[in-house]
Structure 1
Amino acid sequence: MFNFFRPQPRHDEITPTEVQQRLARGDRLYLLDVREREEYVEAHIPDSVLIPLGQLSRKLSSIPKDATIIAICRSGNRSGVAADMLRRAGYGDVLNLRGGIIAWVRAGLPVVA
């Protein structure tokens, strides 16, 4: 009844639970972590690929265009910038992980530490 008070994901965002469901379903996802190496080493999503935001424009050719790209950072801000950058570069299926790795951990989903 009062769901309008709860923030809803934007159309270009995906929740941690939705990512986990898509992974379990076998969807082709490219988990792109745009944090710095020190943050990534501390905790990251299994099978995610680290390309820090500052290096992203130089490494676009290493990112597949035939997968859904899930941009990941600490809280969702840097990954939102990365998602916008990827869309401008011609990547059509790009989603920002809402709440970043913080939300992922809070949801009790697995991380590599």
Structure 2
Amino acid sequence: MQTISPETLKQRLDNGDPLVMIDVREDWEYQTCHIEGSKHVPMSQVMGQLDNLDKSAETVFICHHGMRSQQVAQYLETQGFSRVYNLEGGVDQWARTVEPDMEQY
């Protein structure tokens, strides 16, 4: 599993790179704040969504601080996903460094 910094993710999004972003936080967390363009798949539902995910796509997993998304990314690597990234510091670090107007919790 690789990691990606919020700044690098922002740069890649601005460049139009075809990244899939999956936010694994709970509903209330996602509703509070999320990165535009991210898809919400709570951690508890990821296993049921495996068939809907492209194993070859560059996929960035996101949570609050990067711990839950790291667990999901590591698990998906064992399932044959080869281009998975964990967002360093999660949405919290994204809000601090990239999108300071984002609501935080």
What TM-score comes out, normalization by structure 1 length? 0.84
Match of 2:11 in 1: 21
Give the match's secondary structure for 2:80.
Answer: coil
Q: Does 1:95 align with 2:85?
A: yes
Displacement after TM superposition at 1:111 (Å)? 4.9
Letter in 1 for 2:14: A
Letter in 2 for 1:71: F
Preserved CA contact (<8 Å) 1:14 1:97: yes
What TM-score comes out, normalization by structure 2 length? 0.90
Match of 1:43 in 2: 33
Q: Does 1:106 align with 2:96?
A: yes
For residues 44 and 35 of structure 1, the distance between their equivalents in structure 2, rounded to whole angstroms, comes to 10
Identical amino acids, percent of aligned pairs: 36
Preserved CA contact (<8 Å) 1:46 1:111: no
Displacement after TM superposition at 1:64 (Å)? 2.0
What stretches of structure 1 of length at least 5 have no aligned partner?
A: 1-10
Letter in 2 for 1:16: P
What stretches of structure 2 of length at least 5 have no aligned partner?
A: none
Distance verdict in 2 for CA 1:112–1:27, change over 3 Å: farther
Q: How does 1:64-79 map to 2 (within 5 A)?
A: 64-79=54-69
- Cα deviation digits, residues 38-67 of structure 1 (max 9, x gap): 100000000100111111111111222342
Q: How does 1:46-65 map to 2 (within 5 A)?
A: 46-65=36-55
